[in-house]
Structure 1
């Protein structure tokens, strides 16, 4: 049995039980804690065999053990005996409440852990904070959406769902300005017009309720309920207002409706229980509180209320002047010594929240404690009342005792008439559904590309665009494309997180259109990934294989080019120098992105390294930057005698280069090393790379040559020609550094 018994140790005999040895008491406690309630019952019952010498502490311990064993009807007798000896205190009834709640869980087939307080389950269009339809939805930087009022009232500093830290925090000079998501707000008003209007009236009523303007608040609540009678939380708020206004009957009615709409929503039963308690209907209130504990076993407040009501009821039913009439001859067994209170038996066999109790119920006994004990007619009336709750039961106690321990028969009466009594839309039962006739693809199109949103992102000002569209706009101007509000801070933080709610709406309601949109995007990415037919060209400076090339990029066209090279996964682009006639030179070097750093102004610094040389076959343009169709260049390999001569030339030029570098001033050498690194060593295989030895390119990058001369050497496809050209340059620069005569 999944029940927590936290009160049995409080029911010790307080060292007033001479018949029970301390070691026996310890054994019994261990048996109880281990769940061996049968053994605990046997030991306790043996000590209570003589009804003339009853110990209150032992009665309570035995009652707890019987409850744990599922013998609740017998347990009630011993609780009654303890109540006769002294008033039952609230903390002494915890085990009884747990056991009754456990029985209800079995009966209603509720999971052993109960149900979540979030019942009814949330759908796509419910705010995770207020659990209701979004009203004035706000999308945070992280992409999650909440009601504007929920964010403001809860002083949100980070996202409730993902704990993303917002860029501005409460307590600063200027608090976070939560702006409504324009697209989502329009869709919600269009798709759920009635409920949105009801939500508006509801929140106006909330404000008046908080200001204690009860009359006007009730008017707003009534209007909201008239528009949307299926919203359980709305009925709950109106019930709370009725309680504040002492309109207990109306509060009970709202609680009843809540329980019909959401039978397994703990808060619904709690509201009804509170209303019933205020209305003086203690028995019905107790049932609802017990059902709350069945639904949420960890709900301490509901459990305390149930224990308090039980304590009061035991005290009122078993007053000293009426208690003797409940006693039967002493030769009877312990389970028949007392008549169990009818209100508790009713709790076990009625389903709270489904239907109000008839006027002639067990509460009559509670309002007149002596009635049950003085009149056989009253006893018959009480039994008839209980039989009305459980039809066909000739004897409640026999019904309980005949079933296996720890189980209770499931109530197969589903009360379909109650479930359908309230005209509620499908939104209440299976989540809100967008009416097909109101679905319009154009409502979910980007205002920049005029296509269906793809990776939608929402700016701090509340406007939504495709991620790629927004990035291209921000390359040119740090202002919202629609309202022109400055969103430089958003640009600085790179808070490009997709708006998850819009993505889910697209996936659910426009899945075919979204698949087509995704297909078009993938085709574009594939086209951009082809680094032979269309290579993006950065027109700037000379670049060489294996040599690092840091770049500061601020032009919008090159920002776009760098992003695309990262999005496609190639992380490559071509580098060429400018040409007055063709736009850029016919030869260049492919660069690979290693690191990208973004700056508040939208600019970026990229770290690249040269990969390979290429020849331009044709020139082109795309979205503001240059492109080219290229052919990669490779050095011709040499063998035989030519290889021997090439190796001799290679070693000679390398020695010449080392001597030149060593002759430089320390300041110049340090500057070169900090930018390009040390002179690379000789490669074991000088023809191992298609571009030749790395030291040649390092030397070409640091030698004081014009770019056109460097370009000529870059275009050479034989290592011999390149080494010969470098040797001539070294001779020239060495002569210039030598003093005349």
Structure 2
């Protein structure tokens, strides 16, 4: 007799067409059907198989299977089941004849009903070849991993601790897991964040979580206490804590899962089964939940129900070898406990059961699993309908489960979140760029920096923050920043607007220029500064933050506070010391005249106008060039005649004498060599200031020539 051989998933299946009533089968038409199926034209293939079956005096088993497989490929599962049932009535189905049906059902469930592409329940074959390994560590179960979840334990943050990179985790997770780097940004974490007593909880976030999620937060506290007691083998005390935690958060699947495991360890198998049943209702597609239920039922001696749950696990994870082995230990199968017995079924439904339906169940667990599909198609009262319900969700049921997953995300009660919960204790305004100190207190970044300018201790608890100040690791608390943006967006936008207006005002280098009162400075000449006063720390920082990187330098004045003329300095580099001091590398940019004196936050400010040399032309320019060249040669001669030790000091501090400019009027402040010379000549500040204030290059050159003549005559011979 003729047979058809085809390959599927690497296995070879042989469907016999030998049948006493097979005289009407047309091999050519079967070949057309096979070709149509390979081309993806399943409807045509089904039509051919149906036509061939209709021509037979009695159904052919192999042809029924071909039609069933094609219907399965087409996604017409209900019709495929009818065809498989018909084939089963003609002869016992073998496991190798049904994988296509299982694959189609699970693929349909994954992709069309649940929207899970490629894998089932988040599971796949592991790289080491073991089957059914759960890739996420918890079988895909998870309370919504939202803004307030710890990224280490994936639970609600408990005793939230902000590490130096700005990310926040449970304090216990950081300590118990000996975390060496942040899992979110890979930043290398210090062992104790610079404090002798270890990491501290973030006070603001801790209070916020307790307020917004009071029940869950308290439940999490009991949960953690229960885990500690369990670890110390104090099972009864641990169970009390878990009971209290579940009462406060009954829908927490992972909490319920742990109580199931605790019941199991305490040999409270009935209670474990009850909790596991609740767990399966909360997470119907979580394989671990069904495995826990199966184990608890098995330990309780309820083998029929246990096997049913094992079959659920196999359906959700077909390659889970461990569960297959566990299921083999359960000897009784609920459907065949009394072979052929249909007691409890509706007589009419019972009559529709194929004569050898119970023969479908053999020794193979795969065939047992598949049996449920046929039973549930035939009898709604079959013992296995519960299993079928899990595998074959209706669209309404699937939608409800998806909605449950969406609704499980934590929602912040709008009436509970108050702007007062998010105010800086220093400026009494909404946090802007919030940073958490190692001692756990939160401030605006700018507020904290200003406080540390004056004192290296926390403004609230007085904890010494010298090491924190030394590292200057002022990273924003990212969780706090996200809370502000998400729930107080309008208020934060207003706060940001105020800050930007302040920065705009500070960056106006005409109306309110910060003034460093210290020494003489000249255009193009380096001016290194040692900054240690708090007011100047603030001033330098603001000049960097605004992006101008400039401030004015003036000498002191007994009457006005600082002189009426000065030089703008450009910051090239800043080096900070652990105690907050800094060395600022600056260079002179341009001269200015002070129009009015002022103050801001302790340092001096001024309204200024910039100075430029008046340009000359024609004969005056010719005379200016001659004067320029003459004074330059005089300056070069003076410098060359200096002793080597004096020249070395000048060169180390100011560098070489700049070259002569081809056009002495090219720069608004005149030739650079003039300012170099003015800086190195032994002149008092007042005399230097007088020359700095000149807006005539000719006058400045004449003044410099007089000074050179004077210092040359006074040089000891």
TM-score (norm 1): 0.73
Q: Does 2:116 align with 1:111?
A: yes
Aligned positions of 1:314-329 closer than 5 A:
none
Could you tell me whether the CA contact under 8 Å between 2:110 and 2:116 is conserved in 1? yes
CA change 1:385–1:219 in 2 (3 A) is same
Determine the structure 2 residue equivalent to 1:650.
628
CA contact (8 A) 1:168 1:176 kept: no
What is the DSSP-based 3-state SS (H/G/I as helix, E as strand, rest coil) of the residue aligned with 2:589? Answer: strand
The structure 1 residue matched to 2:544, chosen from 566, 580, 583, is: 566
Q: 1:388 to 1:240 in 2, by over 3 A?
A: closer
1:415–1:707 CA distance, 2 compared to 1 (3 A): closer
Structure 2 residues without counterparts, runs of 5 or longer: 1-7, 14-37, 42-68, 123-135, 340-355
Contact 1:593 1:609 in 2 (8 A): yes
What's the offset of the Cα at 1:683? 1.9
Alignment of structure 1 residues 634-649 onto 2, 5 Å: 634-649=612-627
- Unpaired segments ≥5 residues, structure 1: 1-6, 14-34, 39-63, 295-301, 323-334, 350-360, 363-378, 392-407, 421-425
- Is the Cα–Cα contact under 8 Å of residues 311 and 387 in structure 2 kept in the other structure? no
Name the counterpart of 2:322. Answer: 305
1:140 aligns with 2:171: no
Matches within 5 A, 1:284-433: 284-290=308-314, 293=317, 303-309=320-326, 339=360, 343-345=368-370, 384-386=382-384, 411-414=394-397, 429-433=407-411
Q: What displacement does 1:590 show? A: 0.3
CA contact (8 A) 1:107 1:410 kept: no
Match of 1:23 in 2: none
Cα distance change, pair 348–717 in 1 and its aligned pair in 2 (3 A):
farther
CA distance in 1, matches of 2:108, 2:296: 24
Cα deviation for residue 670 of structure 1 reads 2.3
Q: CA deviation at 1:118?
A: 6.1
Aligned residues of 2:216 and 2:248 also touching (Cα < 8 A): yes
The residue that corresponds to 2:47 in the other structure is none
Are the equivalent residues in 1 in contact too, given 2:314–2:323 (CA < 8 A)?
yes
Question: What is the Cα deviation at residue 512 of structure 1?
Answer: 1.8
Q: What is the rounded CA distance, in whole Å, between the counterparts of 1:643 and 1:710 in structure 2?
A: 25
Residues 500-553 of structure 1, C-alpha deviations (whole Å, 9 max, x = no match) = 222222222222221221111111111111110100000111111111111110
Q: Deviations over 1:645-689 (max 9, x none)?
A: 101111111111111122222222222222212111122221111
Contact 1:179 1:461 in 2 (8 A): yes
Counterparts of 1:130-529 in structure 2, within 5 Å, are: 130-168=153-191, 177-263=198-284, 265=286, 267-276=288-297, 278-279=299-300, 280=303, 281-290=305-314, 293=317, 303-309=320-326, 339=360, 343-345=368-370, 384-386=382-384, 411-414=394-397, 429-529=407-507
Contact map agreement 2:143 2:252 (CA 8 A) in 1: no
- Give the distance between the partners of 1:265 and 1:142, measured in 2 at CA: 35
Which stretch of the first structure deviates more once superposed, 201-210 or 635-644? 201-210
Relative to structure 1, the CA distance from residue 186 to residue 383 in structure 2 (aligned partners, 3 Å threshold; closer, same or farther) is closer
Q: Deviations over 1:125-170 (max 9, x none)?
A: 2211222222211111111111111111111222221122223369
On the 8 A contact 2:143/2:254 being kept in 1, the answer is no
Q: Is 2:373–2:388's contact at 8 Å kept on the other side of the alignment?
A: no
The 3 A distance-change label for structure 1 pair 272 and 634 is: farther
Change over 3 Å in CA distance of 1:337–1:348 after alignment to 2? closer
Matches within 5 A, 1:522-537: 522-537=500-515
| Contact 2:162-2:477 within 8 A present in 1 as well | yes
Q: Residue 126 in 1 paired to residue 149 in 2? A: yes
In the alignment, structure 1 residue 589 sits paired with structure 2 residue 567: yes
RMSD: 4.3
Map of 2:22 onto structure 1: none
- 1:631 corresponds to 2:609: yes
Check if 1:539 corresponds to 2:523: no
For 1:318 and 1:449, locate their aligned partners in 2 and report how far apart those are by CA, in whole Å. 73
Q: Distance in 2 between matches of 1:603 and 1:611?
A: 24
Verify the 8 A CA contact 2:314 2:324 in the aligned structure 1: no
Change beyond 3 A, Cα 1:479–1:430: same
Check the 8 A contact 2:276/2:290 in 1, yes or no: yes
Quote how far apart the aligned CAs of 1:272 are.
3.8
Quickly say closer, same or farther: Cα 1:166–1:654, change in 2 above 3 A. same
Structure 2: how far apart are the matches of 1:388 and 1:455?
Answer: 54
Q: Is the 8 A contact 1:588 1:614 kept in 2?
A: yes
Higher RCO, Cα 8 Å, sep 6+: 1
Aligned to 2:343: none
Cα deviations across residues 265-295 of structure 1 (Å, max 9, x unaligned)? 555455445445545444333344236538x
Distance 1:69 1:621 in 2: 82
8 A contact 1:283–1:343 mirrored in 2: no
* 2: CA distance, partners of 1:121 / 1:567: 39
Corresponding position of 1:578? 556
CA change 1:98–1:314 in 2 (3 A) is farther
Moved more, 382-391 or 496-505: 382-391
Contact 1:148 / 1:180 at 8 angstroms: preserved in 2? Answer: yes
Alignment pair present for 1:675 and 2:653? yes
Number of residues paired by the alignment? Answer: 613
**Cα distance 1:529–1:291, how it changes in 2: closer, same or farther (>3 A)?**
farther
Counterpart contact for 1:125–1:134, Cα < 8 Å: yes
